[in-house]
Structure 1
Amino acid sequence: MEVLMEKILSRTDIECRLAFPTPSLWAFSIPEGETAVYFEATDTIEKKWNFRLSIRGENDPYTKPVITGDWLQFVRDKGLRVGDKIFLWREEGATGVRYSVRAERKIFGFWVNVQ
């Protein structure tokens, strides 16, 4: 399993969209000429979430990739807030590529899963 993202959530992440690290774009096949790809990620309770990873066009000065789709519903369902941590993994197996997502919150100095 490869970690694509480990991030402390900001206000923008929980209110609008999740900023995605550019170096991890290799893990997604965005078709030539397209600016987005949809993917499914499974959380720790095996619930499936449909996310949309998008990049801006070449001429847009803001090229940072972002995740939308079910992202804000994920935030609401998990009760996420600024300072929580999000992880996104990619695993390649016999049945293809699988993505997993997990959220954590720091409680009494320890990071614990947010169900």
Structure 2
Amino acid sequence: MHMQSSESEPVMKELCSKILTTTDVGVRFSFPTATMREHFKLLEGSHSLDFQVRDKYGEVWTFRLYTRKNDGHPKPVLTKGWPGFVKRMGLKVGDKVIFVVHGNHNGQLGIQVKRNIKLLGYEHWADL
């Protein structure tokens, strides 16, 4: 029997996730190079790209993905927009940020944030 997924069923693919470091929270988010190369196409000669993500509250955030001019090691980072997101969400070192693509929303990028909490002796990643 062949099962078809309904259009209303959310199709979500994780692009990357990262546990936040002191630099991620205080200065800029170091974005995974492999994820950047796979999912973001910078124009020839360009070293930055603005893109939008939607959080779980429906708010849209614009981040700037910036790379060094040396193509061998681009070291992508999120600059513009990232500090405001950190402040608004109250992010701390050790929190997890997950970038996702929502397949049924024309490839809309999403962002999720989670905090590791201990509950009854067990660790859980709770949504923020």
Asked if 2 retains the 8 angstrom alpha-carbon contact of 1:42 and 1:49, the reply is yes
Alpha-carbon distance in 1 for matches of 2:44, 2:63: 19
TM-score by length of 1: 0.89
Of 5, 9, 15, the residue aligned with 2:26 is 15
Aligned sequence identity (%) = 33
Shift of 1:4: 1.7
> Which one has a larger percent strand, Structure 1 or Structure 2?
1
1:92 shift after superposition:
4.6
Q: CA–CA distance in 1 between the matches of 2:112 and 2:97?
A: 6
Give the whole-Å Cα distance in 2 for the aligned partners of 1:37 and 1:88. 16
**1:100 is matched by which residue type in structure 2?**
G
Aligned residue pairs total 112
Deviation at 1:62, TM superposition (A): 5.6
Residues 42-81 of structure 1: matches in 2 within 5 Å?
42-58=54-70, 63-81=74-92
Matched, 1:113 2:123: no
Q: Which runs of 5+ in 1 are unaligned?
A: none
5+ long unaligned stretches in structure 2: 1-11
TM-score under structure 2 normalisation? 0.80
Could you say what the CA RMSD is over the residues aligned between the two structures, in angstroms?
1.7
- The 8 Å contact of residues 20 and 67 in structure 1, kept in 2 or not, is answered as yes
Over 3 Å off, 4+ runs = none
Structure (1 or 2) with the larger CA radius of gyration: 2
Cα offset for 1:90?
2.3
SS of corresponding position for 1:57? coil
> Contact conserved, 1:27 with 1:90, CA < 8 A, in 2?
no
